[in-house]
Amino acid sequence: MRFFSSASARMALLASVVSSAAVQAGNSTYYNPVLPGWHSDPSCTQVDGTFFCVTSTFISFPGLPVYASKDLVNWKLISHAWNRESQLPGISWNTTGQQQGMYAATIRYRDERFYVICEYLGTPRGDIGVLFKSDDPFSDEAWSDPVTFPVEKIDPDLFWDDDGKTYVATQGIILQEIDLETGEVSQPPISLWNGTGGVWPEGPHLYKKDGWYYLMIAEGGTQMDHSITIARSRNLTGPYEAYENNPILTNRGTDEYFQTVGHGDLFQDANGNWWGMALATRSGPEFEIYPMGREAVLFPVTWEEGEWPVLQPVRGKMSGWALPPTNRDIPGDGPFNSDPDVYDFAEGTAIPRNLVYWRVPRDGAFSVTSKGLQIIPSRNNLTGTPYSTTTPELSGQQGLSFIGRRQTDTLFSFSVDLTFAPRQVGQEAGVTVFLTQVNHIDLGVVLLTKSSNSTCASRRRREAKTHLALRFRAEGLPESRTVGVPEEWLDGPIRLHIETANATHYNLAAAPAADPYARILVGTASAGLMSGGNGSFVGSLVGAYATCNGAGAGVVCPEGGEAYLTRWRYSGAGQYISETEVV
Ligand SMILES: *[C@@H]1O[C@H](CO)[C@@H](O)[C@H](O)[C@H]1NC(C)=O
Ligand SMILES: *[C@@H]1O[C@H](CO)[C@@H](O)[C@H](O)[C@H]1NC(C)=O
Ligand SMILES: *[C@@H]1O[C@H](CO)[C@@H](O)[C@H](O)[C@H]1NC(C)=O
Ligand SMILES: *[C@@H]1O[C@H](CO)[C@@H](O)[C@H](O)[C@H]1NC(C)=O
Ligand SMILES: *[C@@H]1O[C@H](CO)[C@@H](O)[C@H](O)[C@H]1NC(C)=O
Ligand SMILES: *[C@@H]1O[C@H](CO)[C@@H](O)[C@H](O)[C@H]1NC(C)=O
Ligand SMILES: *[C@@H]1O[C@H](CO)[C@@H](O)[C@H](O)[C@H]1NC(C)=O
Ligand SMILES: *[C@@H]1O[C@H](CO)[C@@H](O)[C@H](O)[C@H]1NC(C)=O
């Protein structure tokens, strides 16, 4: 059986994509999404020829990734605006919902300083506005503790008027003046525009151009009716006149592969050409299987003096303004979003910056040791008991020992070598495709009680009452599948694989690291389990976990059961840009 796709073919394709996006005399061709994988609500700006974008992260941590690019196609992860517990003490663990946390942000630059304004949903005090500042967006540490501000509605924009006053516009669409030092906002909010009648007028961004204030918003909700509409006024506070050709961007009512297009931001390149980024879902009109959720797409914009902007419809293959020349010379030690992971976790190295957790991890849960990346198990398994307030140690709120990276390709291969010597029944470590605590597909190595009919115990464990098993299970699938770990695998690490069988299915497999060809396919699951439902705002992550499945007390597992990861590999094997085309 062969379910590895050809990595070398992928590399050749990548090379051709890169060269077609390179310097050209006329307009350029490129492929969407430019920021593939779970990247919703992009907001972007350009400073001295470098583009900066931020996207939503909900309860994953670190949150609010900042990506930088010089060519609009190669996006490097340069920092996270929310990167330390001390920036918002206690907030992460006190957030119950799977889709609360850091909602849509706006990134702006003014007077040598970067600002990321956002809202954190679901604290015990309700939702709070957060404003992070930095003089160096290439550094995590340089992002300030946030100035917090009271909020009524989500999706804050940040806008400076010519008189230097600063405003925040939010869903509704309403406007308030904001004090950037204290977070004080003016009351009452001023209603600017209610949109053209679609539900949820939100995601506002204000721009001033040619004597007009332009108010661009998202409407119709973030699913199949999503759209971008615009209005303008000579005065900031209105009245705003809606454009007669609204919506200016949408794929609703079409049979396009890219659906849910909306919630965008506009910016200029160094040559003065306008561009926009928005979110889109590669779901096709069926809207059934789209595990990567909402991704970030780039579109050219024509915006002539005194006129309304014209946004080019979002497709997989785009043609528009000449892209800036290909240039990956960007500071910082984060990876480019579309690059493969090749991580060996050598002692003394840092945990790679594109790996994220589900809420703030417990102190010491993840560390790079001489044996690889050590994961101290959590009492919570990946499901825990979400939304429980009575047993918070099993809600995942006080730490879930999970670490993962975005699925950034329709087709991919992920594997990691696991060294794991559990001592107690129920101790487990493995790999997972994870959307939320109620949507995940797992392949764990777990110590189980040996049942009388068990045929899988090893000779050396023949007298033992336990046996080590490979257990495949998925939230949403009624049955799990358990296969004994063959005896000859027990001496070294086990290589666990997650691969796409095709655009709609994942295969989860295992092999002894020493003999990769002895691979066993343990389970197959539909990516439909990872699409929408309880995880409609988020996108799939692939990664590893360790748990004692609720044993122990408080937040501590019984002794043993640490997992050690080495040879972490992720590589893309194909991007669908339409129902039938793969690049
Ligand atoms: C988080 O919850 C704990 C207990 O539930 C409480 O003591 C703490 O003050 C809360 N932190 C915040 C920031 O609300
Ligand atoms: C928007 O709708 C609200 C509620 O109906 C109304 O109070 C407000 O005046 C409207 N705003 C505008 C600008 O029309
Ligand atoms: C803009 O506001 C000023 C007062 O601030 C007012 O005189 C003017 O009429 C307004 N213009 C429009 C188009 O509403
Ligand atoms: C180049 O791209 C811009 C922006 O999309 C578009 O307005 C223009 O028509 C294109 N020019 C050609 C020659 O295709
Ligand atoms: C073991 O026996 C039980 C009960 O007869 C049965 O349900 C189960 O499938 C058996 N397991 C294996 C691995 O044969
Ligand atoms: C995708 O892979 C799954 C699992 O191997 C298989 O059941 C399904 O038929 C495949 N779909 C297509 C369209 O080939
Ligand atoms: C998940 O979705 C199902 C179906 O909509 C719902 O019944 C369930 O309560 C949700 N679970 C959580 C944890 O939100
Ligand atoms: C996950 O842990 C809970 C206890 O926290 C337990 O009830 C549940 O059975 C565990 N799930 C699995 C598949 O072991």
Question: Which residues is 43 bridged to in the sheet?
Answer: 54
Contact indicator for 201, 153 with CB cutoff of 8 Å: no
> What is the average per-residue pLDDT within 172-180?
98
202 is catalytic: yes
Nearest to 223 by CA among 40, 411, 63: 40
Question: Which residues is 298 bridged to in the sheet?
Answer: 277
Nearest to 291 by CA among 461, 84, 434: 434
Question: Which residues is 181 bridged to in the sheet?
Answer: none
Res. 519: pLDDT tops 50: yes
pLDDT for 455:
52
> What is the average per-residue pLDDT within 143-169?
97
Q: Is 279 exposed, middle or buried (0-12, 13-18, 19+ CB in 10 A)?
A: buried
Nearest to 379 by CA among 366, 367, 395: 395
Cα(579) to ligand 6 centroid in Å equals 15
Centre a 10 Å sphere on the Cβ of residue 553 and count the other Cβ atoms it contains. 9
Ligand nearest to the CA of 509: 6
- Looking at domain 27-320, does it have CATH number 2.115.10.20? yes
**Sign of the C-alpha dihedral computed for residues 178, 78, 283 and 321 taken in this order:** positive
Cα(580) to ligand 6 centroid in Å equals 15
Question: Is 191 near ligand 2, meaning CB less than 6 Å away?
Answer: yes
Residue 330 phi/psi, 5-degree rounding, is -130, 135
Q: Which atom of ligand 7 is nearest to the CA of 387?
A: 13
Res. 533: pLDDT tops 50: yes
pLDDT for 161:
98
Question: Is 235 near ligand 3, meaning CB less than 6 Å away?
Answer: yes
Contact indicator for 104, 155 with CB cutoff of 8 Å: yes
Indicate the pLDDT class of residue 315, thresholds 50, 70 and 90.
very high
Name the closest-CA residue to atom 7, ligand 7: 534
Residues with Cβ within 8 Å of 551's Cβ and at least 6 positions away in sequence, in order, are 379, 424, 426, 427, 557, 558
Q: What percent of the chain has pLDDT over 70?
A: 92
Question: Is 381 near ligand 8, meaning CB less than 6 Å away?
Answer: yes
Report how far residue 69's alpha carbon sits from residue 49's, in angstroms, rounded to the nearest whole number: 9
Report how far residue 544's alpha carbon sits from residue 274's, in angstroms, rounded to the nearest whole number: 41
Cα(123) to ligand 7 centroid in Å equals 20
Q: Which atom of ligand 2 is nearest to the CA of 194?
A: 1
Res. 2: pLDDT tops 50: no
DSSP class of residue 75 equals -
Residue pLDDT, tens place only, 497-514: 999 999 999 999 999 999
The residue to mutate among 92, 94, 359, having the most atoms of ligand 1 within 8 angstroms of its beta carbon, is 94
Q: Which atom of ligand 1 is nearest to the CA of 88?
A: 13
The residue to mutate among 451, 481, 522, having the most atoms of ligand 5 within 8 angstroms of its beta carbon, is 451
Cα(547) to ligand 8 centroid in Å equals 10
Centre a 10 Å sphere on the Cβ of residue 541 and count the other Cβ atoms it contains. 26
Res. 391: pLDDT tops 80: no
361 prior amide bond cis, ω within 30: no
pLDDT for 381:
95
pLDDT for 167:
98
Indicate the pLDDT class of residue 3, thresholds 50, 70 and 90.
very low
SS3 536: coil
Question: Is 392 near ligand 8, meaning CB less than 6 Å away?
Answer: no
One of 140, 202, 409, 499 is an active-site residue; which one? 202
DSSP annotation string for 386-436: TT-SS-GGGTTTT---EEEEE--SSEEEEEEEEEE---STT-EEEEEEEEE
Question: Is 172 near ligand 2, meaning CB less than 6 Å away?
Answer: no
pLDDT for 561:
96
Q: What is the pTM of this model?
A: 0.93
Which part of the chain is CATH 2.60.120.200?
343-574
Res. 12: pLDDT tops 60: no
pLDDT for 465:
84
Which part of the chain is CATH 2.115.10.20?
27-320
Cα(197) to ligand 2 centroid in Å equals 12
Indicate the pLDDT class of residue 554, thresholds 50, 70 and 90.
confident
The residue to mutate among 301, 311, 321, having the most atoms of ligand 4 within 8 angstroms of its beta carbon, is 321
Report how far residue 20's alpha carbon sits from residue 331's, in angstroms, rounded to the nearest whole number: 24
**Sign of the C-alpha dihedral computed for residues 192, 196, 197 and 199 taken in this order:** negative
pLDDT for 17:
44
Cα(240) to ligand 1 centroid in Å equals 42
Q: Which atom of ligand 8 is nearest to the CA of 446?
A: 14
Average pLDDT over all residues of the chain? 93
pLDDT for 446:
97
Contact indicator for 270, 243 with CB cutoff of 8 Å: no
Res. 188: pLDDT tops 80: yes
* Cα–Cα separations (whole angstroms), residue 23 to 35, 318, 422: 20, 16, 55
Q: Which atom of ligand 6 is nearest to the CA of 3?
A: 5
Res. 8: pLDDT tops 80: no
Residue pLDDT, tens place only, 289-312: 999 999 999 999 999 999 999 999
Q: Which atom of ligand 7 is nearest to the CA of 437?
A: 13
pLDDT for 6:
44
Cα(470) to ligand 5 centroid in Å equals 16
Beta pairing class for 227-233 and 212-219:
antiparallel
Report how far residue 266's alpha carbon sits from residue 43's, in angstroms, rounded to the nearest whole number: 8
Name the closest-CA residue to atom 5, ligand 1: 94
Q: What percent of the chain has pLDDT over 90?
A: 88
Output the CATH code of domain 343-574.
2.60.120.200
156 prior amide bond cis, ω within 30: no
Report how far residue 581's alpha carbon sits from residue 583's, in angstroms, rounded to the nearest whole number: 7
pLDDT for 130:
98
What's at 20, amino acid-wise? S
Give first-to-last CA distance, the chain, whole Å.
24
**Sign of the C-alpha dihedral computed for residues 36, 337, 402 and 576 taken in this order:** positive
> What is the average per-residue pLDDT within 345-355?
97
Name the closest-CA residue to atom 10, ligand 6: 502
562 is catalytic: no
Residue pLDDT, tens place only, 422-479: 999 999 999 999 999 999 999 999 999 987 545 554 545 555 788 999 999 998 788 8
Name the closest-CA residue to atom 14, ligand 7: 534
Six-digit token string for 123? 């604290």
Q: Give the least confident one: 93-97, 193-197, 333-337, 561-565.
A: 93-97
